[in-house]
Amino acid sequence: MVEEKKIELKKGGKGGETGAREARPLSISSRNGLTYLLIAKSIAEATLVAVLVLTFYFTAFPPYYRGWGEVTAEQRIAGWAVNVAAPWDRLEVYLYIDGRFVASGTANLSRPDVSGAGFARDEWHGYVFDLPPLEKGEHEAHVYAIHKRAGGAHQTLQLLGKPIRFIVEANSIVASPDADKQK
C-alpha cells in the first residue's frame, strides 16, 4: 500500500506574517506529474550539455583534416595534408619527433597522387621535412596540422594520419617493421 505524505504549505498573512499551517496531501496524479516533469527537465539538461560539448569539440577539433606522412628513402618525413572543408587552403604543419618540436612548414608541394585519389581538388598539399640528427634507436614522429579559429587567437594541433615509427641505425634511417600496418 502506498503511504501518502503530507506536505505543509505556508500561507502568508497580512503584512507578510506567517499564518497557521495547513497540511494537504499530494495526490498520486500530482506526484506522477512532478516525477515526469523532473525526468523531462533532466533529459533537457543532459541534451543541452551534450550539444554544448559537441559544439566545443567540433569547433576546437574539426573532423575535416586529412593527411598522411612517412619516412622516405632520402631520410626525410614527407606526406600530405588537406582541409576537406576548405580544399583550396594550404595547411600549416608541424613535425614533432619523440614529443619534441622539430620543424614547421606549409603543405604546398606537388602531390598528384593526393588529388588523383580524390583527397584534394588540386595537387598542392604535400610537405617534406628534413630530419635532424637523431640518436641511434627507435623514434616516433607526429605531423600535426594547425587549426586556427577566432582570427588566430585559438589554435589546436590536429594529428595527421598515424604516428610514424622509424629506426635510426649507423648513418641510415629505416622505416619501422610495422610501417605497413600503420596505413
Q: What is the mean pLDDT of each run of 10 residues along the chain (183 residues)?
A: 53 52 79 93 96 84 84 93 89 96 96 89 94 93 87 81 91 65 46
**pLDDT of amino acid 43:** 96
For the chain, which residues make up each domain, given as ranges? Answer: 6-60, 65-182
Query: What dotted CATH number matches 65-182?
Result: 2.60.40
Cα torsion through 166, 168, 173, 174, rounded to 10: -50
**pLDDT of amino acid 183:** 45
Q: Are 93 and 104 in contact (CB under 8 A)?
A: yes
Residues 6+ away with beta carbon under 8 Å from 47: none
**pLDDT of amino acid 182:** 44
**pLDDT of amino acid 11:** 52
Q: What are the phi and psi torsion angles at 56 (to 5°)?
A: -60, -45
**pLDDT of amino acid 130:** 94
**C-alpha cell, 111:** 602531390
**pLDDT of amino acid 175:** 73
pTM of the model: 0.64
**C-alpha cell, 143:** 605531423
